[in-house]
Amino acid sequence: MTAEHEITLTVNGTARRVTVPGRRLLSDCLRHDVGLTGTHVGCEHGVCGCCTVLLDGQPVRSCLTFAVTVDGREITTVEGLAGPEGLSPVQRAFAECHALQCGFCTPGFLCTVTALLRENPAPTDEEVLEGISGNLCRCTGYQNIAKAVHRAAELLAEEA
């Protein structure tokens, strides 16, 4: 039987204490131990980006991260992107530009794009493509996702 570890994660601003075996993936921990199922799992080998969450603000693949290795760290999942006034500019831009269909890849894109625009508030077309090129979407063909990134940049600038 694998040893259990007690760890504390700050998820979307709330401290969560969980007991997990050393091999527990962060994706499974968030989804099944913390109960936040917005983070999705599309491959479990680090390629699709569905499982992307923000770890201390940086996008990481939660399927390639053991939960025990992020003890004490801050995690933002898709559930934590909206503010008290509702959906974030990135989320609203995705709706406006029809940047999602089945929505399975969407949480990963939202986390990725949120970090991208924090770093680079006015990306060029090239930079947008580059920025989203680590996430797979099987539904949209990406065109509207790229459009949504630009639109989110606009909204963020307007609301700054």
Question: Which 69-98 residues touch other proteins, going by CB under 8 A?
Answer: 77-79, 81-82, 87, 91, 94-96, 98
Q: Which one of 11, 36, 70, 156 is in contact with other proteins (CB under 8 A)?
A: 36
Identified binder of other proteins from the candidate list 4, 8, 19, 23, rule CB under 8 A: 23
Among 33, 101, 127, 129, binds ligand FES (CB under 6 A): 101
- Rounded CA-CA distance 108/7 in Å is 24
Task: Say if residues 76 and 111 touch (Cβ distance below 8 Å).
Answer: yes
Residues that bind ligand FES (rule: CB under 6 A) add up to a total of: 23
Closest CA to 75 of 27, 129, 10: 10
Determine, following the binding rule CB under 6 A, whether residue 137 of this chain makes contact with ligand FES: yes
CA distance 18 to 15: 10
Nearer Cβ to other proteins (72/149): 149
Nearer to ligand FES, 95 or 122 (CB): 95
We find the least distance from the C-beta atom of residue 94 to ligand FES, in angstroms, to be 10
* β-pair type (4-11, 74-76): parallel
CA distance 61 to 63: 5
Torsion of CA 108, 110, 114, 115, to 10 degrees: 10
Write out the residues near ligand FES by the rule CB under 6 A. Answer: 41-44, 46-51, 61, 63, 100-106, 137-140
